[in-house]
Amino acid sequence: MTILQIADLHLFAGQEFLLRFLSDVASSERFDMIVSTGDNFGSSVGLDMVMDAYRPFLSYPGAFVLGSNDYYSPIPKRWSRYLSRSKPHPARVVPDLTYIPMVRQLRAAGWVDLSNACGTLSLPGATVSLLGTDDAHINRDRLVAPASSWEAPGTLRLGITHAPYTRVVSALTRAGSDLILAGHTHGGQIGIPGVGAIITNCDIARRYAKGLNRWETPDGSSSWLHVSAGLGTSPYAKVRIATRPEASLIHVHPA
């Protein structure tokens, strides 16, 4: 089974090249399902671009969670703030982004909304049981009980979240996830060649900023964690250093 993970599009005017890239991915790569780990908007008028980005994939089975930049538009700030530790967001309680129409269109295509929810996808020759949370970066995360398919023999137990905060990754691990997919970090966005990410924009260690790693909890539970470096950036910090944008193809094989 091959999963295509799309993360952190942050779409705004001038990012049309990302739409062309994703169209090329859809036509040239082989995969069985799509997972979107959120932060799709870089502008309050980005809905059409977001749906254009996903349109080539809507015929595939899919699942998604939301990130803070699906609810709230980016805030202007100096790019140098990315070099400091993550700070709490200013309190915003009324979303200003058009996430509801996006969610409705993704659901209408049959994609599973995993924002504090569970679900099941049946693929040819495989069953994927899904467990997800809303964005921990803005404290919207709440882990629900998994679906009954979670315990079925031979099922892939897939955890999905936007920001890979320790509490969420550990909770999904303790729940029994075989694999957890997350985004949010942009792979650090600014790295040092040969060293890696400077920051993660959350509380996980820098070695988990991108890629596939084994995650272990103090009680001995363990899971695979894949954090995508994502494709976009904030419109107010349009820079990546030693951290290439990516869409991830993850090949899963039976144990």
Domains, the chain: 2-251 (3.60.21.10)
For residue 14, the SS3 value is: coil
Asked if the model's pLDDT at residue 77 lies above 70, the reply is no
Cβ proximity of 68 and 134 under 8 Å: no
Nearest to 53, CA basis, from 2, 4, 97, 17: 17
pLDDT at 254: 85
The predicted-structure confidence for 104-163, as pLDDT tens digits, reads as follows 999 999 999 999 999 999 999 999 999 999 999 999 999 999 999 999 999 999 999 999
Nearest to 156, CA basis, from 1, 35, 4, 6: 1
pLDDT at 89: 55
Q: Which of 147-156, 194-203, 209-218 has the lowest mean pLDDT?
A: 194-203
The predicted-structure confidence for 42-56, as pLDDT tens digits, reads as follows 999 999 999 999 999
pLDDT at 90: 58
Give the pair of three-digit tokens for residue 81. 């703030």
Asked if the model's pLDDT at residue 169 lies above 90, the reply is yes
The chain-wide mean pLDDT, for the chain, equals: 93
H or E element: which one contains 172? helix 166-174
> What is d(CA 162, CA 71) in angstroms, rounded to the nearest whole number?
13
Q: What angle do CA 164, 212, 120 make, to 5 degrees?
A: 70
> What is d(CA 160, CA 117) in angstroms, rounded to the nearest whole number?
10
**Percentage of the chain exceeding pLDDT 90:** 81
pTM of the full structure: 0.94
| Mean of pLDDT values over 218-227 | 98
| Mean of pLDDT values over 156-171 | 98
pLDDT at 204: 96
DSSP-derived secondary structure letter, 41: B
